[in-house]
Every structure is written in structure tokens, then in C-alpha cells.
Amino acid sequence: MDSSARREKILQILQESSSAVTGTTLSKACNVSRQIIVGDVAILRAQGIAIISTPRGYQLVVPAAPGCMRVFVCCHGSDLMEAELNAIVDNGGIVHNVVIEHDVYGNLEGTLNLHSRRDIQQYIKRMHD
């Protein structure tokens, strides 16, 4: 499979998936290394395809569902983070991202897309690892 066909296959897998797809899953489906997938995703993004990386893998950006969006400003340590995230998802919310104010680098933003307690557990485990 050439690189163009591989990128089409990656896009097809992402379009058909209802949840995030890991780089490992994509690499196995395409018979290449995860690093090749990382490069292919970068090329797809450069072509204007809205792919985001989450703690659970890659996914296409879907238009926002009707509803409301709120920003929660917090100042606490990791000891209270899990309770806060659980409170949001337990009440039907989605944690889209986190923004950290850094004295030197300014605002650092990370996409999370946490929908459930399972997502939160995986996120916290990755942070500790």
C-alpha cells in the first residue's frame, strides 16, 4: 500500500469509528509503525482534515451538538482534579480541554475530550505514568 492509499485508509477508519482510534490500532490496520501513522496524521492535518489527538487516540472533529459550553476556572492540585472531572461528566458534561497558565510559556492548552469516568481514569493514569 502506498502512502496516499494508507492515508485514505486512516481517514476511512476514523470516519467509521464512533470513538477515538489509537495509533497502535491504525498502525496494525495499515501494516506500518506507529511513527508512520503519526507522520500520516500530520500530513492529513496539513491538508485541512480536522483530526485531534486525545488520551484515547485520534478522532475527527465533529460539529458541536446543540447545547451550551462553559469554562470552569480552578486553582487546585491533582488531588482534587479527579473529583472535579467526575462531577462534570456525571452531570452530562464533556471535558473538551484544559488550559494551564504558565509564567514563562503563557497559556498551554491540551485537548482532552473526556466523556466518562473511564476516560477520566485513563487520563489520570497517563498523567501519573
pTM (global) more than 0.75: no
Q: What is the pLDDT of residue 114?
A: 92
Q: How many CB atoms lie within 10 A of CB 58?
A: 22
Round the average pLDDT of the chain to a whole number and report it: 89
Instruction: Give the CATH fold of the 78-128 domain.
Output: Histidine-containing Protein; Chain: A; (3.30.1340)
DSSP 15-26: HH-SS-B-HHHH
Q: Which residues in the chain are classed under CATH 3.30.1340.20?
A: 78-128
Q: How many helices (H) and strands (E) does the chain have?
A: 5, 4
Q: Which residues in the chain are classed under CATH 1.10.10.10?
A: 3-60
Instruction: Give the CATH fold of the 3-60 domain.
Output: Arc Repressor Mutant, subunit A (1.10.10)
Q: 37-47, pLDDT tens digit by residue?
A: 999 999 999 99
pLDDT for 67 beyond 80: no
